[in-house]
Structure 1
Amino acid sequence: MAEAQLEEQVALVIDAVRASARQGTRLVTVDGFSGSGKSRIADAVGLALVAPVLTLEELYPGWDGLAAAVPPAVDWIARPLAEGRPARWWPWDWTRNARTGARELAPTPVVLLEGCGAGATALRPYTDIAVWVECDPATRDRRLRARPDWPGYAPFRARWAAQEDAWHARERTRERADLVIVNR
């Protein structure tokens, strides 16, 4: 049953991508709160479309960096791809608390960018399909606690959740999404 639900979610995103008429790279953003299932859906769509999936987790400069990840996402990933140039970004090393060596991605027909903040207003001019993944708080919390990286995330959960709440209230990312997926 859960697999069928994922297949239906993936089909919705793929249909939206196929309906997009843009030439060059089509950017699909997948946003939502932590634990909503953004990565799972983005990875499944990427697999189905043979499209790369980039994560904002590589751009957040630490646990207080949700908003700070958006300008690099625009400058290093979205704008270059829209202009037909390779994306080039410097991932955040969470252990060293510093940027690491550059990664690069040549333009492809579709690129998915997932993570809290991916539906940002600043990214919208470069976004073909903005997806919001909706999930109730209790389910999100249960999923987060089941993740293998929970012990490292747990001490920062409240701090990160406060940023998410403020960010999504200000940016109204759910309201501005092209496609809302309810993920149970």
Structure 2
Amino acid sequence: MPAGDLECCGTPCPLPLEPAIHDLASRILGLAPSCGPVRLVGVDGHAGSGKSTFAGRLAEALDGAPVLRLDDIASHAEPFGWTGRLRSQVIEPLARGETARYSPYDWRACRFGPLRPLPPAPVVVVEGVGAGRRALRPYLALLLWMDLPREESWSRGRARDGAEQREFWDGWVRAEREHFAGDPSRPFAGLLVRQRPTGYELLPGPAGTAESPPPLTQGDGPPAMW
């Protein structure tokens, strides 16, 4: 059974969402749209830092908000050179209030697949390494950074993907180092997300402003865990 799941009638089912994530979702819905009618929320961090899991939980709290995974936009040939494709296939249509259509990349077949629709929902979560990059930040309502050190993140990612992906990871680490050296995301995050044994801790980010959600707390206690 996957870690963090409950057993429902003999099959795994997800843990119920706790109040803090609903609070964050409510505050996100209170932000001004940032890309046409859409509030784009970026979830960035090093590869292996837990972005996909966190983005999925947040999307669930946002009544099933669409999640755009940047793994579908990147490719072997362009691990970070995808801003033009993202702009033309996703950003520009959403900014016009239209349904975006993008071609997700198949990392095993090494080719782009058929077009996939992405509607202009009230919130779209953009998850992946580079979600807070310079070219994308003007369109974000909020940037969240998964605050796990890069070496620990990469170790987790390598363990997750196994020996068959060792060569890919060697190349990816070099590319990610180069990307963040020239275009860092963490300094522009409104909130930092730290994974704890009992959930996640949300802390004010380096770029926290009056418009960004403040750290989530319950009463006078420590930052919220969920």
Q: TM-score, normalised by structure 1?
A: 0.85
What is the 5 A alignment of 1:30-45?
30-45=43-58
Q: Distance in 2 between matches of 1:82 and 1:67?
A: 22
Larger relative CO (CA 8 A, sep 6+): 1 or 2?
1
1:48-70 superposed Cα distances (whole Å, 9 cap, x missing partner)? 102011101111121x5221222
Q: Which moved more, 1:20-29 or 1:122-131?
A: 20-29
Change (3 A) 1:13 1:72: farther
Indicate the residue corresponding to 1:172 in structure 2. Answer: 184
Indicate the residue corresponding to 1:153 in structure 2. Answer: 165
Indicate the residue corresponding to 2:208 in structure 1. Answer: none
Change (3 A) 1:9 1:87: farther
Q: Distance in 1 between matches of 2:147 and 2:27?
A: 17
2:41, 2:144 within 8 Å by CA — same for their partners in 1?
yes
Identity %: 34
Indicate the residue corresponding to 2:8 in structure 1. Answer: none
1:62-112 superposed Cα distances (whole Å, 9 cap, x missing partner)? 1x5221222222221122212201111011122222211111122111111
Q: 2:111 aligns with which of 90, 98, 110?
A: 98
Indicate the residue corresponding to 2:73 in structure 1. Answer: 59
What is the 5 A alignment of 1:60-139?
60-62=74-76, 64-137=77-150, 139=152
Amino acid corresponding to residue 36 of structure 1 in structure 2 = S
Amino acid corresponding to residue 60 of structure 1 in structure 2 = A
Q: Which has the larger radius of gyration?
A: 2
Change (3 A) 1:160 1:11: farther
Q: Distance in 2 between matches of 1:12 and 1:65?
A: 37
**1:132 partner SS:** strand
Is 1:46 aligned to 2:59, yes or no? Answer: yes
**1:183 partner SS:** strand
Q: Distance in 1 between matches of 2:50 and 2:104?
A: 22
2:94, 2:100 within 8 Å by CA — same for their partners in 1?
yes
1:91, 1:100 within 8 Å by CA — same for their partners in 2?
yes
**2:135 partner SS:** helix
What is the CA distance between 1:166 and its match in structure 2?
1.3
When the two chains are superposed, the root-mean-square deviation of aligned CA atoms in Å is: 2.5
Q: Which moved more, 1:113-122 or 1:138-147?
A: 138-147
Change (3 A) 1:143 1:127: same
| Structure in which a larger fraction of residues adopt helix | 1
**Structure 1 stretches of 5 or more lacking a match?**
none
Q: Which moved more, 1:26-35 or 1:89-98?
A: 89-98
1:9, 1:41 within 8 Å by CA — same for their partners in 2?
no
